[in-house]
Amino acid sequence: MDFSVGEETRVVLELMERFVRDEIVPLETAFLTKPFREIEPEVERLRAKVRQMGLWAPAQPAELGGMGLPLTDFALVSEVLGQSPLGHYVFGCHAPDAGNIEILHEHGTPEQRRRWLEPLARGEIRSCFSMTEVELPGSNPTMMDTTAVLDGDSWVINGQKWYTTAADGAAFAIVMAVTDPEAPPHERASMIIVPTDTPGFDLVRNIAVMGHAGDGWFSHAEILYHSCRVPRENLLGPRGAGFRIAQERLGPGRIHHTMRWLGVCRRALDLMCKRAVTRPIAPGQVLADREIVQAWIAESAAEIEAARALTLQTAWRIEHEGWRAVRQEISMIKFVVANVMQRVVDRALQLFGGLGMTDDTILAFFHRHERAARIYDGADEVHKLSLARRILKPYRAVAEELKEGNRVFR
C-alpha cells in the first residue's frame, strides 16, 4: 500500500494548514461565545476566499465544482481541517451536506440534481439528513416509526425525528421513512426529499447538547413531520433502498469522521505540548518537567499515530477494493479513533486544569461535542459486536465441523 503524498497534494495540505492556523483559528473565540448567525458573514468571507484559492469542496467531483480528490487524499485533508470545528464548513466539505451531495450525485434524478444538488454543491443552500428517532434505537436503522404513504401523486410523511443536524436554516431535508412496512427489514425504508418550507415540516427545537443548543449550521434539531405532503417525484433513489443507500454513504463517511477526529487529536496534543513547556509549577520548573505529563504526551502521540495508520490503510482499501471488502476495518476505526480522541482531549483538559474547563481554549468545546463520537454513526458497542461476529465466524464453522467428528480444536 502506497501512502506517499504527491507534490500537488502536499502543496494543498500546506495551504490548508496555513489557512486553518491564520484565518480560521482566530475566529474560534467568536464561534464559542456568539450565535452562529452573528459570525456567519465572516465565515462566508472565508468561504469566498477558499473558492478564490481553488480549494473549495475537496471531496466533491470536479463536475460539481469541487477538487475531486481521491478518498485517501481527502482523508489527509480532513485531518488538517478537523483541527478547528469550522474547518470543514469553511472549505465546503462539512456534514451533513457532504453526504447528501454524494447521495444526490449518485441517486438523484436530473431534476433533483438541478434543483437541489447544484446549489448545495456551490454552497448556496444547506441541507439536513433526518433519520434518528426519539423513541427507537439509532443503532438499529431498520427500526423506524416514521412513515411515508403514497396518496395519489404525493408522499404523506408522519413521524418524529431528532438529532437532525443543521436543520435550522436548511433548504431541504433528506428523510428516511418506512414506505413498505411488509417488506424485509432492510427494504422497508426509502429516502425522500422534503423542502423545509413544506407545510407539516415543524422544527420543534434545537436540542441542547450538554447545555448548548446552537443555531444555524451548528445545531441538532427535533423535527415533527405532521401530514407533510411532498410530490411523488421527491423519492430519492429506488423505493425501499433507503437502508442500502445509507450504508453506501457510511463507509467513506467514517473515513471523513475519523480523520476529522484525528485532527482534533492533533490540535489537543499541540495545545498540550505548548502548555507543558510554558506553564510554571515551581521556581525554575514547568509542567513538562513532570514525568506524568511526559507520559501523557508520549501515550497521546503513539495512540494518534497508530489510529492514523489504521484509518489511512482503511481509506486506501476502500478506494481500491470497495467498502464491502473492509467492513471489519471500518468498524475498527470507528471505535478505536473515537476512544483515542476522548483520551487525548481528556489528558489535555487535565493538563490545562481550570483553564481547560473554560471556553478560553477550544478544549472544552471538543470535550462537549466530540464525546458523542462514541455514539453517533453507530455506537462503539455495536461496532465491537459486529466486528467480533465477523472474526469469530470462521472459527465457529471449524468448531462445528470438529464437533461432528469428535475432534479437538487445536
Provide the residue-wise pLDDT of the chain in tens; the chain has 410 residues.
666 678 889 999 999 999 999 999 999 999 999 999 999 999 999 999 999 999 999 999 999 999 999 999 999 999 999 999 999 999 999 999 999 999 999 999 999 999 999 999 999 999 999 999 988 776 677 789 999 999 999 999 999 999 999 999 999 999 999 999 999 989 999 999 999 999 999 999 999 988 888 899 999 999 999 999 999 999 999 999 999 998 887 767 788 899 999 999 999 999 999 999 999 999 999 999 999 999 999 999 999 999 999 999 999 999 899 888 898 999 999 999 999 999 999 999 999 999 999 999 999 999 999 998 888 878 899 899 999 999 999 999 898 888 888 887 77
Please determine, looking at this structure, whether the domain spanning 7-121 carries the CATH number 1.10.540.10: yes
Tell me the pTM: 0.92
Of 130, 120, 42, the closest CA to residue 86 belongs to 42
CB 148 within 8 A of CB 155: yes
Share of the chain above pLDDT 90, in %: 83
The helix (run of H) or strand (run of E) holding residue 308 is: helix 291-321
> Can you tell me the distance from the alpha carbon of 50 to that of 94, in angstroms, rounded to the nearest whole number?
14
Going by C-alpha positions, the residue among 322, 341, 320, 335 that lies closest to residue 387 is: 335
Phi first, then psi, for residue 18 (nearest 5°) are: -65, -40
Cell readout for 282 is: 515551581
How high is the pLDDT of residue 139?
Answer: 65
Third-level CATH fold of 244-397:
Butyryl-CoA Dehydrogenase, subunit A; domain 3 (1.20.140)
Per-domain boundaries in the chain: 7-121, 127-236, 244-397
DSSP run (H or E) holding 233: none
Q: Where are the alpha helices (DSSP H) in 115-189?
A: 118-121
- Domain 127-236: CATH superfamily, name plus number: Butyryl-CoA Dehydrogenase, subunit A, domain 2 (2.40.110.10)
Position 293 scores a pLDDT of 97
